[in-house]
Amino acid sequence: MDRRATLSTLLGRSHVAKAQPIVESFQPPVLGLTPYSGAFGFEQAAHLLRRATFGAKYAEIKAAAAKGLNATLDDLFKDIKLPDPPLNYDYATDPSVPVGSTWINAPYVRDTSTGALLHQNYRNTSLRSWTYENILNEGISIREQLTLFWHNHFGVGDNQDPKFWYQHITLLRTYAWGNFKELIKKINVDPLMLRFLNGNQNTVNAPNENYGREVLELFTIGKGPLAGPGDYTNYTEQDIREVARALTGWRDQGYNTVDANTKVGSFFRISSHDTKTKKLSHRFDNREITNGFDKEHETVVDIIFSKSEVARFICRKLYRWFVYYEISADVEQNVIRPMADILIQNNYEIKPALRALLQSEHFFDALNIGPMIKNPLDFSINFIKQIGWSALNAADLANRHRAFNTLFREVGNQQMVYFDPPDVAGWKAYYQEPAFYRIWVNSTTLQARMRLTDRMATNNYTVGVRTGLNVLEFANSLPTPTDPYLLIEDMVSVLLPQSLTEQQMTDLMNAFLSGTPDYEWSTIWTNYTKNPGNNTARSSAETKLRNLVKAILSLPEYFLS
Amino acid sequence: MKRRNFIKTAGAAATIPMVLNGMNLSAAPMSALFSGIDPYSDKVLVIIRLSGGYDGLNVVLALDQYSNLSKLRANILIPEAKALKISTETGLHPAMTGFHQLFQDGKLSVVHSVGYPNQNRSHFRSTDIWQSGSSASEYVNTGWVGRYFEEDHPRYPEGYPNGGFPDPFAITLGSTVSETCQGTVGNFSLTLTDPFNFGKLTQGKETLFPGTPYGQELSFLRTSISQTNQYADVITAASKKGKTLATYPTSNLATQLKNVALLMSGGLKTRVYVANLGGFDTHANQVDSSDTTRGTQRELLFQLSEAIKAFQDDIRQLGLEERVMGMTFSEFGRQIKSNFSLGTDHGTAAPLFVFGSCVNKQILGKNPEIPATIPDQTGVPMQIDFRDVYGSLLQDWFGVSETEIKDYLFSNYTHLPIVKNCAIATDTEDFTFEETSVKVYPNPFHEVSRITFRLNASAWTRVSVFDNIGSELQVLISQQMGAGDHQVEFAGRDLPAGIYFCRIQVGREVQTMRLVKI
């Protein structure tokens, strides 16, 4: 064992640690950001929608393939209105919010004897189930993926006032593919962020560097290699201090308020603001920031964004979210750099640069189809969206939201909790070398993942009543459900990123038909379609389909995107 | 495999008379000489993470500092009379009767003011530092235990488990693997919530993987699934065969430790267990307003103390006592001054505990010196570097050589006498340091203060100055020093007026002196 090489890996000095290849890897030249010119068939459409959404049905993939790449990207980036706000779905005791109304501007109440804040828990629950509702109803849009991308990027966690959360997440959703620079200006003074990174305690007499540090290290330009004492190549400790000073004076308001007239927001207090001139380091060309009162924080952003490293930094993060974790020197040169150029040419509008990535030869390179281990949310939502889940058809709004909340807990068991990333750097899978996406996988999360798909497939998932996947509708949505082999092939093309080997297809046939001849399935299916109301005919088809879906979802291939 | 450790360990283990389930364990290491089974596999380390950063000043009570403590944290201070004394000037929180008993039985060691220079007060960063075993300025992707295992198993997880190593190297009780056990490629710990319900996963058949990223990830997933299934077999077998003899309280931590005892008694050869007890981030309501011996912290310390006491009783009755050593850690201690919400905010160093029948019954280090007035945000100055604790456990408990430990910890470490006779033999240093010889003059100082001390033998010496939030401002000496009188100057003319701490470490002896700049 090469001790020195190992140590440098242990110390994180090697740029990217390679996974152990099974057979000799071949390294063809990286396809760059040039627009994809190959065929845009079902497989390519499925790949694009698997990455850009939380899952698309067979018919949606088929329609995208027919439309073509450009038109599908138009759909993905089409402006759509913000979702209606979350409601009080089933909590009868909030005096200011009747069931069926929204709570986003409603005050809390304090218990007169204990002083405890009342009516917050149901709002948190509502916020969660509303978020899952938005994801499940996203349609062909990249907005929900980008909302989660930004949530991961800013890493706000902790249990906070859900009204603050609503404002924060709405900001992220609004700017999903909007202007990155403008988004940072909004985040600077976002009330939730002011609380999360102590911006609300950052005053002229007691400067708090928490946000100043993270805005440089994690949100905009990123930390480069240590170039000298306190010098991280892209910025220095001095810059952290001076940026923090420039951001002094902001406070949040309305936190946990019981006053109906106090709105969630932030405000600037001149007396808390440091009015002296701030001097940045040579990393920012020794620029000086003179007092700009409540506009000064925007000047800070303009200065940071004058450095092109900001563009490369965010492009790498977008790449790790949408393509793959490994960024080789080749990828840096041929994908990240040209993408960053587009971002700068468009004054930090995300859409043109991200669209170029999703439209590139590189994105559709066969090597990039399938190697991403899905995060728990992708894993859990993909198959539910693609197959359908009976609990989501519940007529009653409260029951539907109960189902969303059970899903929220399932995804939490798999170690991804929306509104609670483990720390300000986001989920480890998107930055922690050397394992990256593999961090999602361990003996406990594997079992949590497989328990979910098993119970969903076999109709043993309890939300008040036993529920499960709509396997009959799923089969019916495919072109040739009477032919067992083609049925499996089509299911696989929707659910898995690459086709299976003949041996695996045979195994699935066995799981499906348990050795009975093919024509028997045709008879069973035809019998069901002719008598959909007949319970025997129905359950005989359904049982077989459940076994099949369970077998497909338990393949490790389903873990991949 | 290191030949020297191999022999040392095998020899030491052979002297331990112990019977488990009818099998004389002392035979196991000897047979390992011939079977290729890890010969030092009978020693187990249980790491208990107290997450949130716990208020050590309310855990190990510095009774000789109470006049000042009562000024700085009156609203949360535990009454002196309630302290469970472990020495004339030191006591434990009154909820920790279990720990008090363990101390009296010689099975508990208290290590004062453990931390690291330039304390990071962020939960995640500080946890990373503790788990990776790096310094505050280094970002390391692997854990200190992971690097230890990786030395002998560089290709893990590929090819594991196997005939020689059928059991998981480490187990994290809970649902996220511990970064402590992270190796370069794989994590050496298996996560386990319920050993009786460790389900088998659908595995499918092996297929040929193309040499593409897709193939590599697929292969990783298949390895993980297959490893989980194989480990499921050994864990199910061990949990069926194992037993527990003590009565455990009903608590999350007790359940975790009970599972450790169960799996050990069932013959599982896992070396490291990581348990977790959370909730120590007590910014508010750490204590009840009416009674400081009640409240959040009390409940947590009671759970900790009772769970470990029950575990220790269990492994004694199971005859496993001399195979297990445990340690606690928390990512940081809290500030000396309490806040106005009956709580405390993120601070610096904190005491930790090492337990087991092979620990030296002792209090390592001294009560922290609490000044009458301190700036806000002052934490407890560090006395003992956490890597000294790790290094000493690796050396004495797992029999790792000093050279390798330095590799694992990326630094020198000072050997601490934590482990006693049932350990693998180690050298003990001669007493080299006359603590009474330490003088700091002038103090208070204006520009320069001189620190003098005497060594009666050559020793590795580190003299450094910290500010009140635990940042190591200057390292004045860090080298082997000869016998005799030494003097070093601390030039603090550029520093703001205030309180500083001079820390002098000679071998394993530490002295912290307060310095006042005027």
Are residues B204 and A324, on separate chains, in Cβ contact within 8 Å?
no
**For B15, which DSSP code?**
T
* pLDDT higher than threshold 90 for residue B276: yes
* Chain B CB within 8 Å of residue A227 CB: no
- The residue that leads in pLDDT, B155 or B302, is B302
Q: Which residues pair with B484 in a beta bridge?
A: B455
Q: Which of residues 59-88 of A touch B (CB under 8 A)?
A: none
* pLDDT of B425: 38
The one-letter amino acid code at A370 reads G
Percent of chain B residues past pLDDT 90, beyond the cut: 48
Residue of chain A minimizing CA distance to B183:
A10
Residue-wise DSSP of B456-484:
SS-EEEEEEEEETTS-EEEEEEEEEE-SE
User: Token match 């890897």: residue?
Assistant: A25
Are residues A19 and B216, on separate chains, in Cβ contact within 8 Å?
yes
What is the rounded distance in angstroms from the CA atom of residue A159 to the CA atom of residue A405? 17
* pLDDT of A8: 34
- B366-to-B63, B65, B90, B351, B362 alpha-carbon distances in Å: 11, 11, 9, 10, 11
* pLDDT higher than threshold 70 for residue B414: yes
Average pLDDT along chain B:
84
Are residues B124 and A423, on separate chains, in Cβ contact within 8 Å?
yes
Read off the pLDDT of each residue in B137-164 and give the average, rounded to a whole number: 88
* Chain B CB within 8 Å of residue A114 CB: no
* pLDDT of B140: 86
DSSP-derived 3-state class of residue A276:
coil
Per-residue buried b or exposed e for A221-251, using 16+ beta carbons within 10 Å of the residue's own CB: bbeeeeeeeebbebbbebbbbbbbbbbbbbb
Are residues A498 and B214, on separate chains, in Cβ contact within 8 Å?
yes
What is the rounded distance in angstroms from the CA atom of residue A86 to the CA atom of residue A105? 11
* Chain B CB within 8 Å of residue A207 CB: no
* Chain B CB within 8 Å of residue A330 CB: no
- Residue pairs between chains A and B whose CB atoms are closer than 8 Å: 149
pLDDT bucket at B168, cuts 50 / 70 / 90 = very high
Domain boundaries, chain A: 180-307, 308-360
Residue of chain B minimizing CA distance to A498:
B214
DSSP-derived 3-state class of residue B351:
strand
- One pLDDT digit (tens) per residue for chain A, 561 residues: 333 333 333 333 333 333 343 444 455 667 899 999 999 999 999 999 999 999 999 999 999 999 999 999 999 999 999 999 999 999 999 999 999 999 999 999 998 888 888 999 999 999 999 999 999 999 999 999 999 999 999 999 877 899 999 999 999 999 999 999 999 999 999 999 999 988 998 999 888 888 998 999 999 999 888 888 788 899 998 999 999 999 999 999 999 999 999 999 999 999 999 999 999 999 999 999 999 999 999 999 999 999 999 999 999 999 999 999 999 999 999 999 999 999 999 999 999 999 999 999 999 999 999 999 999 999 999 999 999 999 988 889 999 999 999 999 999 989 999 999 988 889 989 998 778 999 899 888 998 999 999 999 999 998 888 999 999 999 999 999 999 999 999 999 999 999 998 888 998 999 999 888 889 999 999 999 999 999 999 999 999 999 999 999 999 999 999
**Smallest CA–CA separation between A395 and chain B, in Å?**
35
Are residues B185 and A434, on separate chains, in Cβ contact within 8 Å?
yes
Give the length of chain B.
518
- The residue that leads in pLDDT, B211 or B302, is B302
Residue of chain A minimizing CA distance to B230:
A443
* pLDDT of B428: 41
What is the rounded distance in angstroms from the CA atom of residue B130 to the CA atom of residue A9? 19
Question: For residues B513 and B504, is the Cβ–Cβ distance under 8 A?
Answer: yes
**For B288, which DSSP code?**
-
- The residue that leads in pLDDT, B211 or B389, is B389
* pLDDT of B192: 85
Percent of chain B residues past pLDDT 70, beyond the cut: 87
What is the rounded distance in angstroms from the CA atom of residue B297 to the CA atom of residue B282? 7
- The residue that leads in pLDDT, B84 or A4, is B84
pLDDT tens per residue, range B444-458: 898 899 999 888 888
Plot region of A19 (φ>0 → left; ψ -120 to 50 → alpha; else → beta) = beta
Both structure tokens of A194? 């002011």
* pLDDT of A4: 34
**Smallest CA–CA separation between A198 and chain B, in Å?**
12
Mutation target among A23, A195, A443 for the B interface, most CBs of B within 10 A? A443
**Smallest CA–CA separation between B269 and chain A, in Å?**
18
Read off the pLDDT of each residue in B324-330 and give the average, rounded to a whole number: 97
- The residue that leads in pLDDT, A13 or B242, is B242
**For A218, which DSSP code?**
I
- Which chain B residues contact residue A26 at CB under 8 A? 211
The one-letter amino acid code at A483 reads D
At residue B449, φ and ψ (nearest 5 deg) are: -125, 145
What is the rounded distance in angstroms from the CA atom of residue B394 to the CA atom of residue B397? 6
- The residue that leads in pLDDT, B21 or B306, is B306
* pLDDT of A210: 83
Picking from A23, A28, A60, the residue whose alpha carbon sits closest to that of residue A361 is A28
Question: For residues B171 and B188, is the Cβ–Cβ distance under 8 A?
Answer: no
Read off the pLDDT of each residue in B134-158 and give the average, rounded to a whole number: 89
- Kindly report the CA angle at B260 between B259 and B261, in degrees rounded to 5? 90
The one-letter amino acid code at A104 reads I
* pLDDT higher than threshold 80 for residue B25: no
Residues 6+ apart with CB under 8 A from A437: A325, A372, A373, A375, A429, B217
In the Cβ-directed half-sphere of A41, how many Cα atoms lie within 13 Å? 4
pLDDT bucket at B121, cuts 50 / 70 / 90 = confident
Picking from B111, B104, B73, B107, the residue whose alpha carbon sits closest to that of residue B87 is B104
* pLDDT higher than threshold 80 for residue B29: no
ipTM reported for the complex, 2 dp? 0.91
Question: For residues B2 and B404, is the Cβ–Cβ distance under 8 A?
Answer: yes
**Smallest CA–CA separation between B181 and chain A, in Å?**
13
Residues 6+ apart with CB under 8 A from B427: none
* pLDDT higher than threshold 70 for residue B508: no
